[in-house]
Structure 1
Amino acid sequence: MPLTFTRSVAGHRGRAPLADLPLMLVAPALFAANMVAARWAESAAIPPVFLAFGRWALAFAIFFPFVAARVRAHRALLRAHAPDLALLAVLGMGLTVAPQYIGAQETSATNVALIFAACPALVALIEALVWRAPVGSVRAAGMSLAIWGVLLVLTRGDLAALGRLAFGRGDLWVLGAACAWSLYTVLGRRRALGALPGEVKLAALIAGGALALAPFAALELASGAVPDFGDGRLYAALVFLAIVPSLGAYFCYDRLVERVGAAGASMSMYLIPLYAALAAWPLLGEVPAFFHVAGFALILGGVALAGLQKRR
């Protein structure tokens, strides 16, 4: 049965801005699942680049049979947009994921979340410098409110703890991943790919990401970093990553970019560290504290306020 995911952007311009709020809440929850699963995968000693490659390769194997007919029907458009699709795949599926997994081995989850919380500012900066897009006072206010919520959660209510954060080699890997994600967000909005159905575009990006990572995963294996193929946790991690933060999260985020724009969609990134902290409650036995509740209120308010920004 053919899948049809994405409608024309123009068909949504008359919708109320807050109609997109549910999507702004769901997309970051799916991305947060990536961080939790990646931390869990470390117990199985899965090499980071292999993990990144494996998730995209498996995601393509799962997804392609459902969209093969539509991919063949749009092969001419795929060839015409091949350079743009390749660039987006390298940025969003390659340079965002593998460096994040590499960096997570050498830095704290707090630092990872804090660095990725800077993505909305990077997106707004890129659009302002390259395309001279105004940030807007409402969106700026929402960004400010949300970032205070993020900092409140990350510092466990002690904002003075920010002065004690140290940035090492792992943090630089994650910073590179955050920059790649910001570029992916902006270019995903700016590149003229609207004629491609959403599922066809997603299949092409997933395939491109797997192909881009394949040689680096092979080099990693050749260096001696070989996963234990007899460990069931390897396959559990790959299946989860392929379905939830790969197919689910990227589709939701790309659709959000189409509906509210790159800067508006990037505001949802503020919810990722909060969701990750909440997931640690049932999985790791960490009970949420008052600063979680206060941070959630600030972040949710900031995301809602940003959603009120008039679309360009």
Structure 2
Amino acid sequence: MKFPPFVLLIIATLLWGGNFVIGRAVTGEIPPFTLAFLRWCLAFFVFLPICYKQLKRDWQQIKAHWPIVLVLALTGVAAFNTLVYIGVYSTTSINASLMNSTTPIFIYILSFIFLKERLTKYQIIGTAISLIGVIFILSGGSLESIQHFHFNKGDLIVLLAVFCWSIYSLLVKQYSDRLPGYSTFLVTIAIGAIMLLPFTFYEWSTLSGPIVWSGKTIGAILYVGILASIIAFLSWNKGVVQLGANRASIYLNFIPVFATIFATLFIGESLQLAQIIGGLAVICGVILTNRK
């Protein structure tokens, strides 16, 4: 069955929106490094038969760019989701998903600093509006928090995660003509899981209590390992091919929308006025930066 590109992109963002809520829902039952490690192990074994033949064909090409592949594995696989899962211990999944909407802004800033790409006036204005929105979300709309730089630790950790994802996205963009997509993704999953292994072992050795193995935690691992990793990835890539990267990027703004709906329906989070105002500012800024 062939789906139109907008349906594929909405499926991807819906599943990614759920990833933030799942991470928040299982805090206290399965620790963050363990969740991230098991997620990518499952994703690897599910994805391996899909692109094994491509990997054999592309191996020498991937090997020729191994330093970039290592950075991709570190930032996109090992760091991003792990930091999100750590961050949602101290913040809401709504806040975390709103922070994720700033990814295009970070990419523009990194492109300006490292690639010397010129920023248009729309990108500068949009970046300023989005950053104001981020500060509004971080401070909860409190002027006192801004004056004393008293922000939620979890929000700052998620912002660090978004910074890692922005580096990953920029490298994917820069090396898209030199690194094959599916097989490179499989290799980065494997390397990222290996990077997470020592941290996972350390986490197990320092746990104050046992991991709660229940239908909820197993369901969470299956969700993030198959739906949020493989199905979302394949849907997103297919949608981007059909619609184009620039037009598809706007759909990323659906992630906080879906995360907010899931968080309020399933884990009892409430939407605050500061989140609405800050989130709208972030999304408006992102849309403005994409204007030609």
Q: In the alignment, which residue of structure 1 is the partner of 2:57?
A: 73
Q: In the alignment, which residue of structure 2 is the partner of 1:15?
A: none
The reply on whether 1:102 has 2:96 as its aligned counterpart is: no
Q: In the alignment, which residue of structure 2 is the partner of 1:42?
A: 27
Residue ranges of structure 1 left out of the alignment (5+ in a row): 1-18
Query: Where do residues 166-205 of structure 1 align in structure 2 (5 Å cutoff)?
Result: 166-191=150-175, 193-205=176-188
Q: CA deviation at 1:91?
A: 0.3
Q: In the alignment, which residue of structure 1 is the partner of 2:13?
A: 28
> Aligned pairs, how many?
284
Q: CA deviation at 1:176?
A: 2.1
The reply on whether 1:260 has 2:245 as its aligned counterpart is: yes
TM-score by length of 1: 0.73
CA distance in 1 between partners of 2:121 and 2:184 (Å): 33
Q: CA deviation at 1:298?
A: 7.5
Secondary structure of the corresponding residue to residue 180 of structure 1: helix
Q: CA deviation at 1:297?
A: 8.0
Q: In the alignment, which residue of structure 2 is the partner of 1:223?
A: 206
Secondary structure of the corresponding residue to residue 74 of structure 1: helix
CA distance in 2 between partners of 1:130 and 1:270 (Å): 26
Q: In the alignment, which residue of structure 2 is the partner of 1:52?
A: 36
Q: In the alignment, which residue of structure 2 is the partner of 1:12?
A: none
Residue ranges of structure 2 left out of the alignment (5+ in a row): none
Secondary structure of the corresponding residue to residue 105 of structure 1: coil
Residues 84 and 161 in structure 2, CA contact (< 8 A), matched pair in contact too? yes
Q: CA deviation at 1:106?
A: 2.2
Residues 186-232 of structure 1 show CA distances to partners (whole Å, capped at 9, x for unaligned) of 111113x4354422122112212211111111111122366536422
- Going from structure 1 to structure 2, the CA distance change for 1:197 and 1:122 (only over 3 Å counts) comes to closer
Residues 49-73 of structure 1 show CA distances to partners (whole Å, capped at 9, x for unaligned) of 0001110110111111122122122
Residues 140 and 275 in structure 2, CA contact (< 8 A), matched pair in contact too? no
Q: CA deviation at 1:104?
A: 1.5
- Going from structure 1 to structure 2, the CA distance change for 1:265 and 1:163 (only over 3 Å counts) comes to farther
Residues 94 and 213 in structure 1, CA contact (< 8 A), matched pair in contact too? yes
CA distance in 2 between partners of 1:291 and 1:265 (Å): 27
Residues 115 and 178 in structure 1, CA contact (< 8 A), matched pair in contact too? yes
Give me the CA root mean square deviation.
3.9
Residues 92 and 269 in structure 2, CA contact (< 8 A), matched pair in contact too? no
CA distance in 1 between partners of 2:97 and 2:106 (Å): 15
Residue type at the aligned position of 1:49: F
Q: In the alignment, which residue of structure 2 is the partner of 1:245?
A: 228
Residue type at the aligned position of 2:47: F
Q: In the alignment, which residue of structure 2 is the partner of 1:283?
A: 266
Secondary structure of the corresponding residue to residue 108 of structure 2: helix
Secondary structure of the corresponding residue to residue 26 of structure 2: helix
CA distance in 2 between partners of 1:173 and 1:130 (Å): 23
Residues 137-167 of structure 1 show CA distances to partners (whole Å, capped at 9, x for unaligned) of 4455666677788889x69xx9844755742
CA distance in 2 between partners of 1:28 and 1:232 (Å): 25
- Going from structure 1 to structure 2, the CA distance change for 1:160 and 1:180 (only over 3 Å counts) comes to closer
CA distance in 1 between partners of 2:18 and 2:59 (Å): 33
Query: Where do residues 8-157 of structure 1 align in structure 2 (5 Å cutoff)?
Result: 25-42=10-27, 45-140=29-124
Percentage of matched positions with identical amino acids: 27
Residues 128 and 134 in structure 1, CA contact (< 8 A), matched pair in contact too? yes
Q: CA deviation at 1:81?
A: 2.3
- Going from structure 1 to structure 2, the CA distance change for 1:291 and 1:232 (only over 3 Å counts) comes to same
Q: CA deviation at 1:249?
A: 3.6
Moved more, 287-296 or 200-209: 287-296
CA distance in 1 between partners of 2:90 and 2:270 (Å): 26
Q: In the alignment, which residue of structure 2 is the partner of 1:13?
A: none
Residues 113 and 272 in structure 1, CA contact (< 8 A), matched pair in contact too? yes
CA distance in 2 between partners of 1:117 and 1:299 (Å): 7
The reply on whether 1:236 has 2:219 as its aligned counterpart is: yes
Q: CA deviation at 1:25?
A: 4.8
Secondary structure of the corresponding residue to residue 27 of structure 2: helix
CA distance in 2 between partners of 1:169 and 1:291 (Å): 17
Residues 95 and 275 in structure 2, CA contact (< 8 A), matched pair in contact too? no
